[in-house]
Amino acid sequence: MMPRSGSQGAGRRWRNRLASALELPRDLVVDLPKVTVVGYLQVTVENHRGIIEFTPERVRIAAGEGLLEIRGQGLTLRCILLDEIILDGRIEAVTFSS
């Protein structure tokens, strides 16, 4: 039996090739978040897996195989849907880690 991590890498490569062949958006096929930042005022995260932590200074969001962290001041949740989160406030940093 192959180790799980090896099969995940092969699966990701396969999905990348499929997205390319069918001209599909890669973010949807390879389970990556799509992050849109509007100046320092707003962040929209599509294709998320839920909010892990929320404070007015920091929001951590599960995203694909990683974690998305938004830091700022006065962060508020404008909208949360199954596939989209919109945050308002003074955005200071957006970081992604695996």
pLDDT digits (tens, 9 = 90+) for 22-80: 776 665 566 788 999 999 999 999 989 999 999 999 999 998 889 999 999 999 999 99
Residue 96 makes CB contacts below 8 A (sequence gap 6+) with 33, 35, 63, 66, 67, 68, 69
For 20, 24, 45, 71, the CA distances from 60, given in Å and listed in that order, are 30, 28, 11, 9
pLDDT for position 2? 39
pLDDT for position 65? 81
Query: In this structure, are residues 46 and 97 in contact, taking their beta carbons and an 8 Å threshold?
Result: no
pLDDT digits (tens, 9 = 90+) for 1-29: 334 445 556 666 776 676 667 776 665 56
pLDDT for position 64? 80
